[in-house]
Structure 1
Amino acid sequence: MDRLKGVEYFKRIYELGSFTAVADEFRCSNAVISKYVKFLESWTGAKLILRNTRTISFTDEGHRFYEYCRSITEQTEHLLDSVANTGELTGQLVIASPVSLTMKVLAPLVFQFQNEHPQIAIRMQMSDQITDPVGSGVDLAIRGIEAPEDSSLIAVRLGSLERILVASPSYLNRAGTPETVGSLGQHQCLIYSLSSDANHWEFSPSAGDIVPLSVTVSGPVTADNSLVLADAAKAGLGIALLPRTYVQQELVRGELQELHLDAHPIPRSIYAVYSDRKYLPKRARLFTEFLKTAFR
């Protein structure tokens, strides 16, 4: 049996936690995956996976073997990248990114990149929860954040998203239009729960100051998806703080109005985050450079 293929299968079993998910990913049967696991256990002389009808778990030897598999696959990809004598990229590029950012910004760029490099297979994992590139099988995690928090990860800044305050005409007619940052505390505000400033919206400092302005906000809707908040704003439920590009069409149609206060919301930077510069696949490096150019 192909030992390297077995290593690839085991790595993905560990990361996905399912024989079926791995079989679907590699377009083979569960029986093939099971056969390779038995082969690996025979090769290593150790029980690697504990399996029943509902769940799987890993022995201590299985956890250690995963680290070996991860190292082998990363080194293999790095070697193939370095010895390739053509400019053609191959393999699978796995990208984790927030749902709203993907739908409004990233998806067209991903499609353009794939059209330019048709030999690459792209797998997009969209979730508004933060994906840790370590041990998740992800090449790159794209994040729209104020600044990276985990110093153990490598973060490459791609660009920034301008954020604006928006509300529907019906809400503004009913509640009035705020004119200062401080007045937001008296309004119904729509909260993005995953933001670092979820309940304390931050604005650019006044002239001569270095500390951002901050106001405590609250309101009737809290969500972990920005597009849901855009819909809540359109329904007249309150004021939302969102990237301009997420609501550009609603602004043009007049469904939402931009609010102009005495300070501007602090933008959010977009980062490509990964775990290891040394073993980052060439396709991931080039995609990162492609995004930097696109955002410029």
Structure 2
Amino acid sequence: MRIEDLKLFTIVVELGSFTAAATALDLPRANVSRRIGELEKSLNAQLFFRTTRQLRLTQHGETYYHDLLNVLDGFEQAKNKLLDLDEKPIGKVKLGFLPESDEALQPVLAKFQRLYPDIELDLRFTNNYVNDIYSQGLDFVVHAGKIQDSGFIARKLLSLGRGMYASPDYIAQHGAPKALAELAEHQAICYRWPDGTLDDNWDLISDSVKVNCKLSCNHMGFIRRAIVGGQGIGFMPPLFALGAIESKSLVRILPEYESKKEDVWLIYPDRKGISLPTRLLIDFLLQEIPLYTALS
């Protein structure tokens, strides 16, 4: 009986199927089914009722699952203490993050791996942490906006503001608006939220302005490239365009207007114990990422 198989059993329970667990762990489904079968054989007990449509725990499986969570938590804590003593944390962290945040995260994650070269990072784009944490087997996610489910632990990373930006080429050709009312005369590039809502009403602290959207996309990276390409004025977090701002490929329009801020969170399942590599990365991001907020 291996610890990895015991952990696999708990993941199958949490995800509700062998297929979902196989997807989350990047394993063949047959491998998951075989290992659970071997676990049942070693325990001399049936853990699951299996049908073509449903997988559910037996009474033995239910009892074993809840007792096993405490055992695995104790095992994880004991392992972490040993690794703390060795000061050579080893392991893998699966992190979910918004596609548009890659430019800000990449250098921070590179710095982390220079400090901890034996920790492997497996990065996944995600737009729905409630589903993706379990379906992709993520250790934690970076999420912007409201917390949808209280069954997770959420730690605030920063508050993210947005600004209005255009390229020097666009300004040379169309001029820069001198007042909010003049934005209606310009071409706007707008973000489309995951629920399909078009962000063509730009919320500011003291006002809001309706813009004339000529191009929209649900990927902030595309929005950034379109603004840099001179296609219009966009409203985006500077944290997602640090390189373009520093190189002056983007110029802030009407900088006296500040946007309302949106909270960014690190979210992970409400479990007693997390691995040492995961804890180290969470603490590192909480320390390093806010240093970028001066540009927000």
Q: 1:217 pairs with 198, 211, 217, which one?
A: 211
Partner of 2:284: 290
Q: Find the aligned partners of 2:218 and 2:88 in 1 and give their Cα distance.
A: 39
Partner of 2:260: 266
Superposed displacement of residue 259, structure 1: 0.6
Partner of 1:210: none
Query: What are the Cα deviations for residues 238-288 of structure 1, in whole angstroms up to 9, with x where unaligned?
Result: 211122243344345554332125412234443211232632333323222
Q: Find the aligned partners of 1:198 and 1:70 in 2 and give their Cα distance.
A: 43
Q: 1:164, 1:265 within 8 Å by CA — same for their partners in 2?
A: yes
Matched, 1:131 2:129: yes
Q: 1:202, 1:266 within 8 Å by CA — same for their partners in 2?
A: yes
Superposed displacement of residue 291, structure 1: 1.6
Q: Find the aligned partners of 1:251 and 1:23 in 2 and give their Cα distance.
A: 38
Query: What are the Cα deviations for residues 38-67 of structure 1, in whole angstroms up to 9, with x where unaligned?
Result: 22455542545556xxxxx64122896996
Q: Find the aligned partners of 2:3 and 2:119 in 1 and give their Cα distance.
A: 20
Partner of 2:236: 242
Query: What are the Cα deviations for residues 167-198 of structure 1, in whole angstroms up to 9, with x where unaligned?
Result: 23444455442233344344332222238993
Higher helix share: 2
Superposed displacement of residue 75, structure 1: 5.0
Report the secondary structure of 2:86's partner residue: coil
Q: Find the aligned partners of 1:164 and 1:12 in 2 and give their Cα distance.
A: 42
Q: Find the aligned partners of 2:72 and 2:54 in 1 and give their Cα distance.
A: 19
Q: 1:181, 1:262 within 8 Å by CA — same for their partners in 2?
A: no
Query: What are the Cα deviations for residues 115-154 of structure 1, in whole angstroms up to 9, with x where unaligned?
Result: 3223322221123x13227534222211234x54544432
Matched, 1:60 2:60: no
Report the secondary structure of 2:283's partner residue: helix
The 1:139–1:198 alpha-carbon spacing in structure 2 relative to 1, beyond 3 Å, is same
Report the secondary structure of 1:220's partner residue: strand
5+ residue gaps, structure 2: 292-296
Deviates more, 1:222-231 or 1:59-68: 59-68
The 1:47–1:109 alpha-carbon spacing in structure 2 relative to 1, beyond 3 Å, is same
The 1:278–1:260 alpha-carbon spacing in structure 2 relative to 1, beyond 3 Å, is same
RMSD of Structure 2 on Structure 1 (CA) = 3.7
Query: What are the Cα deviations for residues 218-246 of structure 1, in whole angstroms up to 9, with x where unaligned?
Result: 51322221110012223333211122243
Partner of 1:89: 89
Give the letter aligned to residue 117 of structure 2: P
Partner of 1:107: 106
TM-score (ref. length: structure 1): 0.74
The 1:243–1:190 alpha-carbon spacing in structure 2 relative to 1, beyond 3 Å, is same
5+ residue gaps, structure 1: 52-56, 206-212
Q: Find the aligned partners of 1:272 and 1:190 in 2 and give their Cα distance.
A: 29
The 1:277–1:201 alpha-carbon spacing in structure 2 relative to 1, beyond 3 Å, is farther
Report the secondary structure of 1:60's partner residue: strand
The 1:279–1:90 alpha-carbon spacing in structure 2 relative to 1, beyond 3 Å, is same
Report the secondary structure of 1:265's partner residue: coil
Q: Find the aligned partners of 1:164 and 1:104 in 2 and give their Cα distance.
A: 17
The 1:153–1:24 alpha-carbon spacing in structure 2 relative to 1, beyond 3 Å, is closer
The 1:58–1:185 alpha-carbon spacing in structure 2 relative to 1, beyond 3 Å, is farther
Report the secondary structure of 1:221's partner residue: strand
Alignment of 1:138-153 (within 5 A): 138-145=138-145, 148-153=147-152
Partner of 2:275: 281
* Count of aligned pairs between the two proteins: 277
Percent identity of equivalent pairs: 20
Alignment of 1:146-185 (within 5 A): 148-173=147-172, 175-185=174-184
Q: 1:181, 1:261 within 8 Å by CA — same for their partners in 2?
A: no
